[in-house]
Amino acid sequence: MRRLIVNADDFGLTAGVNRAVAELSSAGVLTSTTLMARAGATREAIGIARAKPSLGVGCHVVLVDGAPILSARREIPRLARPAASDPAGELRPGLPGFLRAIYLAPDKQKLYAQIEAETRAQIEFLQIAGVALTHIDTHKHVHMFPGVLRAVLRAARARGLRAVRNPFEPAWAVRAAGAGPWLRVAQVSALRWLAPVCRGIIAEEGFVTTDGTLAVVGTGILDRTMVRRLLTNLPQGTWELVTHPGYNDADLDRVRTRLRASRDIERDALEAIREFPGIELISYRDLNPASA
């Protein structure tokens, strides 16, 4: 059996991203999305999520490149910093800065405790708003690092969730994609050594996940051709296709993101899924019915 979760990240980022998620869900080619708790169009995204019970909605936990729920000054000073533009402060910009903070932390457990607290706050915010969350993942896949993963899973379990993205792209998918910046391919391949460790932690913490995530190297360049290559080579098992559809509009121009013109391309790319009726489309709800 070949099963596929088709997930759109960054739900709530802009109205154009929300529009793409709603349209693709209605078209039957998008089964899942992950919602940012503090983004420019989060309120609208919450309304869409509540109006579309068939769409699986997870929490896109943001621990880097964004705004926190908790106060940087009072509650998460090791994770975020004060900002004149936001009373809560701002999370560290860029993955290198986030990893540097972990490496240099004099007391890593305090930092992990703050990661757990902020993760729990983001999940709780969406649940209180009436969103029936199915799973979690993280912006920039920061939960691939073991200490972060344990903190994130503890927070999710405290809020009743039991499903999480497997952030690792298997070697067959990288080959099948047939494209990707060499640096991105090298990073994805080099980080794969963490996969067995993370799978062990996920199992120990009592969570379910997929066999792997597709199109990580395709972020920003995912088109119909790449989708066809990936799905033609899709083996037995349960997989997640990670996508970033949207509309490249004025709202997106005001957001700090490297994914702009590619939002339109990825939105169109998902139409290729219709060419593979033999693949069962599911959401994380089907892996973890108790979360529905």
User: pLDDT digits over 132-171, tens only?
Assistant: 999 999 999 999 999 999 999 999 999 999 999 999 999 9
Q: For position 250, what pLDDT does the model report?
A: 63
The parts of the chain modelled with pLDDT lower than 70 are 249-263, 288-292
Structure tokens, 263: 């939002």
The DSSP annotation for the chain comes to -EEEEEEEEEETS-HHHHHHHHHHHHTTS--EEEE-SSSTTHHHHHHHHHH-TTSEEEEEE--SSS--SS-TTTT-TTTEEEETTEEEEEEPSSHHHHHHHHHH-SSHHHHHHHHHHHHHHHHHHHHHTT--EEEEEEGGGGGGSHHHHHHHHHHHHHTT--BB---PPPHHHHHHH----HHHHHHHHHGGGGHHHHHHHHHHTT-B--S-EE-STTTTT--HHHHHHHHHT--SEEEEEEE------HHHHTS--S-SHHHHHHHHHGGGGGG-TTSEEE-GGGT-GGG-
Q: For position 260, what pLDDT does the model report?
A: 45
Per-domain boundaries in the chain? 2-291
0.85 exceeded by pTM: yes
Domain 2-291 has CATH 3.20.20.370: yes
- 290/13 Cα distance (integer angstroms): 28
Q: For position 292, what pLDDT does the model report?
A: 39
